[in-house]
Amino acid sequence: MVINDNSVLSSRPALADEIGKVAEVAGYLWEKGWAERNGGNITVNITEFVDDALASVPPVGGPVAIGAEVPLLKGEFFFCKGTNRRMRDLASDPMSGGSIIRVMEDGLSYEIVADAAVKPTSELPSHLSVHNWFKAKGLPYKASLHTHPIELVAMSHHRPFLEKDVLTYLLWSMIPETKAFCPKGLGIVPYELPGSLKLAEGTIRELEDYDVVMWEKHGVFAVDEDIMKAFDQVDVLNKAAQIYMSARAMGFEPAGMTRAQMAEISEVFHLPK
């Protein structure tokens, strides 16, 4: 990861560490083939790492309308992947592939604080609506990830898989760890235009019950306490999807774990359902 001497990260190790995790995950997304061109985006609430000096630097861009109302985020700071920026570039130099923004007092717009005026992701309405919802719910979540995992997106092109919890149980049943490490399963958001408020609203509706949701024929959106944990949830789900597809490619429908075996996992790992 490159941190140049002028970066706001160079004298702030805790902030650099947090944004370093974003860079590490961005590298994994590229290696997995989930981040073609500028595909996918990440936002992390970094307010706890922002000191008075950083909070008072003059903005380098904005104010710009968010496209959603986020009243609970007034004055909060986020690291955001830049729109049209590549994950693979962010992996090696996060402050040129993304930027730090602050939500303005109106709860409707943001300004860019550092390093350069890199415009945040086009999915900002979804990301910030979700962070606003974390606050409303009193959740400890700080990170949101949108990515294009190949096998999961392929499965979203099959209508029967989009019925409630069909994919959740299918994926859980492929390998025991899936349920243990993605215990709420996979919610489904019917297709909406990328970057739209409708997509943000559909995402929040599903996050009431799930930590990972499928954006039909597009990608997934995952939330967790930090970006590494959000990535892990998508990774275990996509691994299960790969196992399902490998079995189908060998010419058979995989048997899957039984409901009783999955119930046993829930009991041993103290899972909700």
The secondary structure of residue 96, as a DSSP letter, is: H
Q: Which residues bind ligand 13P (CB under 6 A)?
A: 38-41, 81, 83-84, 121-123, 146, 194
**Closer CB to ligand 13P, 131 or 146, in the complex:** 146
By a kind-dependent CB cut-off of 5 to 8 A, residue 84 interacts, out of ligand 13P, Zn ion, none, with: ligand 13P
Q: State the DSSP code for 102.
A: E
Smallest separation, CB 62 to ligand 13P (Å): 17
Residue 212 pairs with which residues in a beta bridge? 186, 222
Least distance from ligand 13P to the Cβ atom of residue 195, Å: 6
41 binds, among ligand 13P, Zn ion, none (CB under 5 to 8 A by kind): ligand 13P
Alpha-carbon distance of 25 to 27, in angstroms, equals: 5
| 149 versus 187: smaller Cβ distance to ligand 13P | 149
Catalytic: which of 18, 76, 123, 206? 123
Nearer to Zn ion, 202 or 219 (CB): 219
**105, 71 contact by CB (below 8 A):** no
Judge contact between 212 and 143, C-beta under 8 A.
Answer: no
Please confirm, yes or no, whether 123 is among the known catalytic residues.
yes
DSSP state of 226: S
Q: To 5 degrees, how large is the angle CA 240–CA 241–CA 246?
A: 95
Instruction: Determine the length of the chain.
Output: 273
38 binds, among ligand 13P, Zn ion, none (CB under 5 to 8 A by kind): ligand 13P
The set of catalytic residues is: 123
